[in-house]
Chains A and B, each alone.
Chain A
Amino acid sequence: MNRDHELSIDFAACDGHGLCAELLPERITLDEWGYPVIRDSTVPGPLLTHAKRAVAACPVLALRLTRARGRDQQPQRSLHR
Chain B
Amino acid sequence: MNFETATAIAAQDMPVPYGARLLAGWYATGRPADLSDHLARYGPAPIDGAPGALADAVEQAGLTGRGGGAFPTGRKLRAVAGRRGPAVVVANGMESEPASRKDETLLDLAPHLVLDGAVLAASATGATVAHVCLPRTRADQAESLSRATEERHRAGLDPVEIRVHTLPHHFVSSEETALVSWLNGGGAHPRSTPPRPFEKGVGKRPTFIANVETLAHMALIARYGPGWFRELGSESAPGTTLVTLSGAVRHPGVYEIPMGGSARQALATAGGPTERLGAVLAGGFFGSWLPMPLDPVAQPRGAGVLVALPEDTCGLAETAGVLAYLGSQSARQCGPCMFGIPSVADDFAELAWGQPDTALLDRLNGRLGLLPGRGACRHPDGAARLATSALLAFGEEVVRHMQYGPCSRAGGPLRLPIPAGPPAAEEGWR
8 Å CB interface, A1-21 against B: 9-16
Known: A81-B67, A81-B68, A81-B286. A12 touches B376 (CB 8 A): yes
Chain A residues in 8 Å Cβ range of B375: 11-12
Q: Are A80 and B335 in contact (CB under 8 A)?
A: no
Residues of A contacting B: mostly: loop
Interchain nearest-CB distance for A6 vs B (Å): 13
User: How many CB-defined contacts (below 8 Å) exist between A and B?
Assistant: 81
* Beta-carbon contact of B370 and A12 below 8 Å: no
How far does the alpha carbon of A79 sit from the alpha carbon of B70 in the complex, in Å?
A: 7
The digit string for B70-109, where 1 denotes a CB below 8 A from any CB of A, is: 1100011001000000000000000001000000000000
**Residues from chain A with Cβ under 8 Å of B75 in the complex:** 75
By the criterion CB–CB under 8 Å, are B67 and A13 in contact? no
B339 at the interface (CB under 8 A from A): yes
Q: For the complex, is A69 an interface residue (Cβ under 8 Å from B)?
A: no
Q: How many residues of B contact A (CB 8 A)?
A: 40
Partner of B382, one of A12, A32, A80: A80
Binds A, one of B36-44, B189-197, B249-257, B307-315: B189-197
**Contact partners of A35 in chain B: CB under 8 A:** 335-336, 339, 374
Q: How many angstroms from the CA of A79 to the CA of B381 in the assembled complex?
A: 10
Within 8 A of B (CB), among A35-79: 35, 37, 74-75, 77-79
- Contact across chains for B198 and A75 when beta carbons are under 8 A apart: yes
CB-CB under 8 A from A78, the residues of chain B are: 65, 69, 71, 76, 176
Query: Which residues of B have CB within 8 Å of A12?
Result: 190-192, 333-334, 375-376
Assess the B370–A79 pair: CB atoms within 8 A.
no
> Is B334 a contact partner of A79 (Cβ separation < 8 A)?
no
Q: When chains A and B are docked, how far (Å) is the Cα of A1 from the Cα of B79?
A: 26
B196 to A11, Cβ gap below 8 A? no
Alpha-carbon distance A12/B284, docked complex (angstroms): 25
Contact residues of A with B, CB < 8 Å?
9-16, 31-35, 37, 74-75, 77-81
9 contacts between A and B (CB under 8 A): A10-B376, A15-B335, A31-B340, A35-B339, A74-B79, A75-B196, A80-B382, A81-B287, A81-B382
- Interface on B for A, CB 8 Å cutoff? 65, 67-71, 75-76, 79, 97, 175-176, 190-193, 196, 198, 283-284, 286-287, 302, 333-337, 339-340, 343, 367, 370, 374-378, 381-382
